[in-house]
């Protein structure tokens, strides 16, 4: 079942990409007691993700924080090393990278897609959400291969 506004995020293990290497975190701990702008991409270094999705959240970081966002995070079904390299290559310092290497988080929130036709296997869909103390306050899920409702700009316009 797909997560909805008002639902509590499931508690699964994610891996945070840090300058010191991968750091395992429980999602319940990561989201507890703060407001997070979270977005999901089908894959690091993929065209739309690299050209539009991640850069939009980097560019709008100050505006999001002015609206009460404590942290901006990106998740993808990639390993922490790939997520860390993507962050560095994209100059995305304001964004915390949360690797969902096995797709457990994507599966738990019910937002997976089959990228097998592109050699990518099971991945997370493209979406964004505002999470306040672990509870989904805003959820923006793209349809098909679109990039219309999961952007930082769309999120800001609906806060």
What CA–CA distances, in Å, run from 64 to 108, 114, 115? Answer: 26, 31, 31
- CATH no. for residue 80? 3.40.30.10
Q: Is 118 a member of any domain?
A: yes
Identify whether 122 is part of a domain: yes
Domain assignment present for residue 133? The answer is: yes
> What domain range includes position 114?
13-157
In a domain, 8, yes or no: no
The number of domains in the chain is 1
pLDDT digits (tens, 9 = 90+) for 96-143: 999 999 999 999 999 987 777 776 768 789 999 999 999 999 999 999
Residue 4 lies in a domain: no
User: Is 49 a catalytic site residue?
Assistant: yes
Tell me the C-alpha distance between 42 and 40, whole Å: 7
The residue among 93 and 46 whose pLDDT is bigger is 93
* Active-site entry in 15, 41, 49, 131: 49
* pLDDT, position 59: 98
CB atoms within 10 A of CB 49: 22
Q: List pLDDT tens digits, range 41-77.
A: 998 998 888 889 999 999 999 999 999 999 999 999 9
Q: Is the full-model pTM beyond 0.75?
A: yes
CB 78 within 8 A of CB 44: yes
> Does 144 fall in a domain?
yes
What's the pLDDT score for residue 121?
Answer: 62
Instruction: Answer with the residue of higher pLDDT: 156 or 48.
Output: 156
Q: How large is the average pLDDT for residues 16-24?
A: 94
pLDDT recorded at residue 119: 67
Sign of CA dihedral 68, 147, 76, 144: positive
Burial of 157 (0-12, 13-18, 19+ CB in 10 A): exposed
Spatial distance between the Cα atoms of 135 and 79, rounded to a whole number of angstroms: 25
Is 7 inside any structural domain? no
**Segment 78-87 mean pLDDT:** 96
Whether residue 2 lies inside any domain: the answer is no
Cross-sheet strand order for the sheet of 21-26:
21-26, 13-18, 95-99, 71-76, 35-40, 127-132, 135-141
């Amino acid at each position: 079942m797909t997560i909805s506004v008002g639902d509590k995020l499931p508690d699964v293990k994610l891996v945070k990409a840090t300058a010191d290497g991968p750091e395992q975190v429980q999602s319940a701990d990561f989201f507890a007691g703060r407001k997070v702008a979270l977005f999901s991409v089908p894959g690091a270094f993929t065209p739309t993700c690299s050209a539009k999705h991640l850069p939009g959240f980097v560019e709008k970081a100050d505006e999001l924080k002015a609206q009460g966002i404590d942290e901006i995070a990106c998740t993808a079904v990639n390993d922490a090393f790939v997520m860390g390299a993507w962050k560095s290559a994209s100059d995305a310092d304001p964004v915390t990278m949360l690797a969902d290497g096995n797709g457990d988080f994507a599966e738990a929130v019910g937002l997976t897609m089959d990228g097998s036709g592109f050699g990518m296997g099971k991945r997370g869909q493209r979406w964004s959400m505002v999470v306040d103390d672990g509870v989904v306050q805003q959820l923006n899920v793209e349809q098909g291969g679109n990039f219309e409702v999961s952007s930082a700009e769309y999120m800001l316009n609906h806060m």
